[in-house]
Amino acid sequence: MLTLDDDLGRLSYVVTGDGPPVVLVHAGIADHRMWDAVVPDLAERHTVIRYDLRGFGQSAPPTGPFSETDDLRRLLDHLGHERVRLVGASWGGRVAVDFVLTHPDRVHSLALFSAPWPGYDWSADMIAYDEAETAALDAHDLDAAVRINLDMWLRGPARSWEDVATGLIDRLRGPLRTSLVNQDIVGKHSQGPATGDLATVSVPTLVGIGKLDVADFQDIGRRYASEIPGATLVEFATAGHLIALDAPTEFTAAVGPFLAR
């Protein structure tokens, strides 16, 4: 991977393909490798940029206050891209939304998959998950915290482990472990989500939800689709929270034509 060093550490990134630039922003339990299965198709027509958020993958944890939107802007400036197509999954989807709200002139189009909603009134199941993860981390049982997250975000509430594609657990376990190790320091220094009115988003927007995902995130996806003017909602019948991992073929079938606009 390539690196962009700054006074807070470093951002690691990789660039593949040639054409109009597309930036893929990973989920908060993953790193840039979560996009591995969809990059070959996207790179046939686009310059595909993937990077690890601070404290994820090969990007160093932050040493002071930072903003995810500032990091993305800095990376685009470094690469010489004035305007890009943005694709974000889960927390990466919220980073993408924040970037559009903060730098609307630098985004050509926006695709969101399972993005959270700041201040959402979470269900009892989500609260129980958060309490279980917190208890495991407080007990310094990182293995248990990893299992709790894999169960919530990879298997999900609607299927058994036998229904999850072979190899996905092993692919996600390492990146997830790194994210949990750095969770506190990232949370301490992150300046949090941007403020802004979704009604002001004027770029073409695609919102995707997995029909096997937690009900909260299906509701949130529909909310994004209803509040962003002209947004298109796509539902993935065979996917949970991490659509690009669960259904890469269906993902590129939906995203490819959208990005080609």
Q: Is residue 30 part of a domain?
A: yes
194 domain residue, yes or no: yes
The count of structural domains within the chain is 1
Please report whether residue 128 resides in a domain: no
Q: Which domain holds residue 211?
A: 2-121+185-259
Quick check: helix, strand or coil at residue 113?
strand
- pLDDT for 261 equals 86
Phi, psi (degrees; rounded to nearest 5) at 13: -150, 165
Residue 168 domain-assigned (yes or no): no
CB-CB contact of 26 with 50 (8 Å): yes
Tens digit of each residue's pLDDT (9 = 90 or more) over 75-129: 999 999 999 999 999 999 999 999 999 999 999 999 999 999 999 999 999 999 9
> Is the pLDDT score of 192 beyond 90?
no
Residue 52 counted as domain residue: yes
Q: Do the domain assignments include residue 26?
A: yes
Per the CB < 8 A criterion, the answer to whether 18 and 10 are in contact is no
Can you tell me the distance from the alpha carbon of 58 to that of 124, in angstroms, rounded to the nearest whole number? 34
Q: What pLDDT, on a 0 to 100 scale, did the predictor assign at position 194?
A: 77
Residue 193 confidence (pLDDT): 77
Mean of all residue pLDDT scores within the chain: 97
> Does residue 166 lie within any of the structural domains?
no
- Residue 229's domain is classified under what CATH number? 3.40.50.1820
- State pLDDT tens for residues 216-240: 999 999 999 999 999 999 999 999 9
pLDDT at 196: 87
Note whether residue 56 is domain-resident: yes
